[in-house]
Amino acid sequence: MNTAWIFEQLDIISSIGESVEGGQNRLAFSENDMKAREFLKHLINQIGLEYREDTFGNIFALYNTGSENQIVATGSHIDTVPNGGRYDGTLGVITSLAAIKEIKENKENIRHPLELIVFQAEESSRFGHSTMGSKIISGKLENFVQWEQSRDNDGISLVQAMKDTGYNFYDINKSVIEKDRYKYFLELHIDQSKTLMNANVPVAVVDGIAAPLRVRVTIFGEAAHSGSTAMRDRKDALVIASELILAIRNISLAYDERQAVATVGKIDIFPNAINVVPGTAVMYVDIRGIHAKTIEELFGLIRAESSKIALRYKASSEIELLSSEKPCALNNIVTDTIEQSCIDLNIPYIHTISGAGHDTMNMAELAECGMIFVRNVSGISHHKNESILNEDIEKGALVLHDALLKLSR
């Protein structure tokens, strides 16, 4: 594996849109994003591959020697959050390209064509919608009107930003890809948690991508004078909410973290005044897991607990479902292949799940998917300090290369 080549390309891409402090700024459809994409196209040509770009700016570079039609694809994104890290997305793109380059140069005998996909607008930072490019190609774009109306912080609409960079928003639906084009899809990504760092392993086989179910719980207590209302006569909505928050924590602790987690991240109380016993508390719960059934189960337990606690205070509660996304279990054949590559290469690994969303979730509509995580030695992501060891990059790239070979033979 030509790791020097990988480091060199990572350096070049990272220099595009880099702030003085080292943060990466390649927001989707920005000038820097376009510059980096131009560089990638040049790199693809240099390797002797042809590329096509769809109506949204997703880039596809095909290496076709296969006798069978179904493509084995690999890739990630190069757009970033403001002041993002060097590796989020970009590492997957460059290692994918390096793997295909290696397979091409070694004239490996493969049955399926290989393809690099560089997704556009994975990050939601600019227009508020995530994994846009992969949603489009997989036919998962549902909120066309919301996308059409979305604007960035400077008031520039997605429609305008696309127009300014040579794309037509009203053509995006032309980029949906037919269901039988891909056989497998693999994404290598930097770990966006401390999991691999804590486990002290360079890579991980990802078993699934968690998705959030979000609910709003409203506690109806009774607002009252904070001085004249006896403690035993109170229906303090915030006290009830506090008990519920602790109950949610205890219920979730009983679940393996790989299965599900739940968080109360936001709470509003009314009237929110120092001399009034809180009458109403509105809390927002985010429940995540990799199996829809487990998420539902946890949701059910939280629902039961909220009415039970409210009842104890002679108050009432209401729970509303705000949104429910489908978690993505990754394909066994692909995860087993990645695992076998780690074993064959003698690279230590663990199994993990992804708490963050990725383009792979959408690609699962088009192909059997798998993900490889590479250790993040900073333990943080979406931050300029995101960091990774060169030797881990090499190990990740080797696993990706080997798994692609195995899957395309």
Q: Which stretch binds Zn ion (CB under 5 A): 50-58, 84-92, 279-287, 337-345?
A: 84-92
3-state secondary structure of 76: strand
By CB under 5 A, is residue 23 in contact with Zn ion? Answer: no
Total binding residues for Zn ion by CB under 5 A?
Answer: 2
Q: How far is the CB of 231 from Zn ion (least distance, A)?
A: 50
By CB under 5 A, is residue 357 in contact with Zn ion? Answer: no
By CB under 5 A, is residue 75 in contact with Zn ion? Answer: no
Question: Tokens standing for 334?
Answer: 């692909």
Number of Cα atoms under 13 Å in the Cβ half of residue 130: 12
Residue type, 317: S
By CB under 5 A, is residue 79 in contact with Zn ion? Answer: no
* Cβ proximity to Zn ion, 77 vs 112, nearer residue: 77
Residue type, 143: N
262 and 340 Cβ atoms separated by less than 8 Å: no
* Cβ proximity to Zn ion, 371 vs 405, nearer residue: 371
How far separated are the first and last CA of the chain, in Å rounded? 19
Residue type, 287: I
Q: How far is the CB of 16 from Zn ion (least distance, A)?
A: 17
- Restricted to residues 87-116, the positions that interact with Zn ion (CB under 5 A) are 88-89
Q: How far is the CB of 268 from Zn ion (least distance, A)?
A: 31
Number of Cα atoms under 13 Å in the Cβ half of residue 398: 20
* Cβ proximity to Zn ion, 88 vs 392, nearer residue: 88
In whole angstroms, what is the distance from residue 157 CA to residue 259 CA? 38
Q: How far is the CB of 356 from Zn ion (least distance, A)?
A: 7
Q: Which stretch binds Zn ion (CB under 5 A): 29-37, 45-53, 85-93, 127-135?
A: 85-93
CA 116, chain centre distance (Å)? 18
In whole angstroms, what is the distance from residue 259 CA to residue 252 CA? 10
Q: How far is the CB of 365 from Zn ion (least distance, A)?
A: 19
In whole angstroms, what is the distance from residue 247 CA to residue 305 CA? 7
* Cβ proximity to Zn ion, 88 vs 402, nearer residue: 88
* Cβ proximity to Zn ion, 89 vs 396, nearer residue: 89
CA 314, chain centre distance (Å)? 42
* Cβ proximity to Zn ion, 88 vs 115, nearer residue: 88
In this chain, which residue has its C-beta nearest to Zn ion? 89
By CB under 5 A, is residue 85 in contact with Zn ion? Answer: no
What stretches of 290-332 adopt beta strand conformation (E)?
A: 316-324, 328-329
* Cβ proximity to Zn ion, 57 vs 89, nearer residue: 89
* Cβ proximity to Zn ion, 88 vs 305, nearer residue: 88
Q: How far is the CB of 111 from Zn ion (least distance, A)?
A: 30
Question: Tokens standing for 217?
Answer: 């719980």
Q: How far is the CB of 192 from Zn ion (least distance, A)?
A: 7
By CB under 5 A, is residue 33 in contact with Zn ion? Answer: no
In whole angstroms, what is the distance from residue 311 CA to residue 256 CA? 29
* Cβ proximity to Zn ion, 187 vs 402, nearer residue: 187
By CB under 5 A, is residue 327 in contact with Zn ion? Answer: no
Q: How far is CA 330 from CA 188, 205, 361, 368, 370, in A?
A: 13, 10, 9, 7, 6
Residues 6 or more apart from 314 whose CB is under 8 A from it?
Answer: 235
DSSP state of 85: -
In whole angstroms, what is the distance from residue 79 CA to residue 378 CA? 20
Over the window 259 to 298, marking each residue x when it contacts Zn ion by CB under 5 A and - when it does not, the resulting string is: ----------------------------------------
Q: How far is the CB of 376 from Zn ion (least distance, A)?
A: 12
Q: How far is the CB of 122 from Zn ion (least distance, A)?
A: 6
Phi first, then psi, for residue 294 (nearest 5°) are -65, -40
**Which chain residues interact with Zn ion by CB under 5 A?**
88-89
